[in-house]
């Protein structure tokens, strides 16, 4: 039996920081409101020249170094992103060029904040069907490029970054299971419509935050049960929750459902904001770098986002 195992993790954050105090200068908001309602204190913002593939490339390079393999050994690149460099070619193809490799398949997937979980799920199947041996799964987003910085309900939330893993064929079990879902009927609650503003087409995020919040919390409850039942595991078997970072109050609600102390939850939202597809691999790398997540630990990753899409991955690291 072939399993897929994470053998390398890397991440990248753009240099520029945007703090709540910075946002107070241009918006009718306060550090106190943002901190108490979201848990966010600051977020990283890509420069105008930095594209999503640049962030993804840096994260991928770090993951490949961490995996101690040669770049040429990568035989599939999957990039989960909502903010591709261009409509085409795919950001994955741009990352492939930046890594200096040729011929392996490379494609993007679009599942907004659940994109990394979708990517892991696809990559796991490629490995288990012996179709690839070393897959780069990258979550990368430049959400600042689709954020309306005059809209206080959105401008405070989003950040930019990238995280990547090398997922490899292994005799040891790494990914225990993945579960992915979608329900398109809620499109209007969280989307990027095309609007005519003056003579220009504007495409920025629009969200009915409190409605999304309620559905997210209820759905994440079900995700947790689904992952545990599928693997006949108990809540207490999980060493770390590595969640999508949308709102500290959503993280707290999921931890409560798991009867888990917040000490067992990897939290980066205070420093990263919501980086969409990048948030889970960024949190994973943060948990490893800080010495919390160790080899052999059982990790539950979960996400909910636009689409709506949602999903989980249960992983023995
Ligand atoms: O990652 C994809 C999935 N996304 C999510 O899961 C996000 C889910 N939603 C959320 O995290 C929260 O709903 C938000 C953080 C977006 C908003 O928090 P909330 O507690 O749901 O606030 P709200 O939208 O119900 O607004 C409450 C009040 C409103 O004022 P009134 O109508 O009560 O007078 C807003 O106008 O807070 C006001 N408000 C703000 N005040 C100060 C909204 N944004 C701000 C702001 N600063 N930045």
Over its length of 317 residues, how does the chain's per-residue pLDDT go in tens digits? 999 999 999 999 999 999 999 999 999 999 999 999 999 999 999 999 999 999 999 999 999 999 999 999 999 999 999 999 999 999 999 999 999 999 999 999 999 999 999 999 999 999 999 999 999 999 999 999 999 999 999 999 999 999 999 999 999 999 999 999 999 999 999 999 999 988 899 999 999 999 999 999 999 989 999 999 999 999 999 999 999 999 999 999 999 988 999 999 999 999 999 999 999 999 999 999 999 999 999 999 999 999 999 999 999 99
* Substitution candidate for ligand 1 out of 187, 189, 209, 245 with most atoms within 8 A of CB: 209
- Eight-class DSSP state of 248: H
- In terms of phi and psi (left: phi > 0; alpha: psi -120 to 50; beta: otherwise), the region of 107 is beta
* Substitution candidate for ligand 1 out of 210, 246, 251, 310 with most atoms within 8 A of CB: 210
The pair of structure tokens assigned to 125 is: 């199947």
Ligand 1 pocket by C-beta < 6 Å: which residues?
29, 33-34, 37-38, 113, 152-153, 156, 209-210, 212-213, 216, 246-247, 250, 274, 304-305
- Eight-class DSSP state of 278: G
Cα-Cα-Cα-Cα dihedral sign, residues 245, 251, 255, 261: positive
Phi, psi of 106 (to 5 degrees): -150, 130
Beta bridge partners of 304: 310
Beta bridge partners of 119: none
pLDDT of residue 312: 98
Ranges of H-type helices in the chain: 20-26, 31-38, 52-67, 91-99, 115-128, 152-155, 209-230, 248-257, 269-272, 279-289
Rg for the chain (alpha carbons), in Å? Answer: 18
- Ligand 1 atom nearest residue 153's Cα: 44
Residue nearest to atom 21 of ligand 1 (CA): 210
Residue nearest to atom 8 of ligand 1 (CA): 213
- Ligand 1 atom nearest residue 38's Cα: 15
pLDDT of residue 298: 98
Residue nearest to atom 48 of ligand 1 (CA): 152
Phi, psi of 181 (to 5 degrees): -145, 165
Residue 208 Cα to ligand 1 midpoint, Å, equals 8
Residue 204 Cα to ligand 1 midpoint, Å, equals 17
pLDDT of residue 189: 98
CA-wise closest residue to 79 among 65, 89, 66, 67: 89
pLDDT of residue 84: 98
- Ligand 1 atom nearest residue 247's Cα: 11
Residue 153 Cα to ligand 1 midpoint, Å, equals 6
pLDDT of residue 5: 98
Residue nearest to atom 42 of ligand 1 (CA): 29
Contact (CB, 8 A) for 156 and 207: no
pLDDT of residue 181: 98
Residue 255 Cα to ligand 1 midpoint, Å, equals 21
Residue 124 Cα to ligand 1 midpoint, Å, equals 36
- What domains, with CATH codes, occur in the chain? 3-172 (3.40.47.10), 176-316 (3.40.47.10)
- Active-site positions read 113, 244, 274
Sort strands 134-142 and 106-109 into parallel, antiparallel or unpaired: unpaired
* Substitution candidate for ligand 1 out of 43, 153, 217 with most atoms within 8 A of CB: 153
């Amino acid at each position: 039996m072939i399993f897929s195992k994470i053998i390398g993790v890397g991440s990248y954050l753009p240099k520029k920081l945007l703090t709540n105090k910075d946002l107070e200068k241009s918006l009718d908001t306060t550090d106190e409101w943002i901190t108490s309602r979201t848990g966010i204190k600051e977020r990283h913002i890509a420069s105008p020249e930095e594209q999503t593939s640049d962030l993804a490339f840096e994260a991928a390079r770090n993951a490949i170094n961490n995996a101690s393999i040669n770049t040429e050994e990568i035989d599939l690149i999957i990039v989960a992103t909502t903010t591709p460099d261009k409509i085409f070619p795919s950001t994955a193809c741009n990352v492939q060029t930046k890594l200096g490799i040729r011929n392996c398949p490379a494609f993007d997937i679009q599942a907004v904040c659940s994109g990394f979980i979708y990517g892991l799920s696809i990559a796991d199947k490629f490995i288990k069907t012996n179709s690839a041996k070393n897959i780069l799964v990258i979550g990368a987003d430049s959400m600042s490029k689709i954020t309306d910085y005059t809209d206080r309900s959105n401008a405070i939330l989003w950040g930019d970054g990238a995280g990547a893993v090398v997922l490899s064929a292994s005799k040891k079990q790494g990914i225990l299971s993945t579960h992915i879902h979608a329900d398109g009927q809620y499109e209007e609650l969280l989307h990027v419509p095309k609007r005519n503003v003056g003579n220009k087409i504007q495409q920025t995020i629009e969200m009915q935050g409190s409605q999304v919040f309620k559905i997210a919390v209820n759905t994440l409850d079900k995700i947790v049960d689904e992952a545990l039942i599928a693997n006949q595991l108990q809540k207490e078997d999980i060493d770390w929750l590595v969640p999508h970072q949308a709102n500290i109050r959503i993280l707290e609600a999921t931890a409560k459902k798991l009867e888990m102390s917040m000490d067992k939850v990897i939290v980066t939202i205070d420093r990263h904001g919501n980086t969409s597809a990048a948030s889970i691999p960024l949190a994973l790398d943060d948990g490893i770098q800080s010495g919390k997540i160790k080899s052999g630990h059982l990790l539950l990753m979960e996400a909910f986002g636009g689409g709506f899409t949602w999903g989980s991955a249960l992983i023995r690291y």
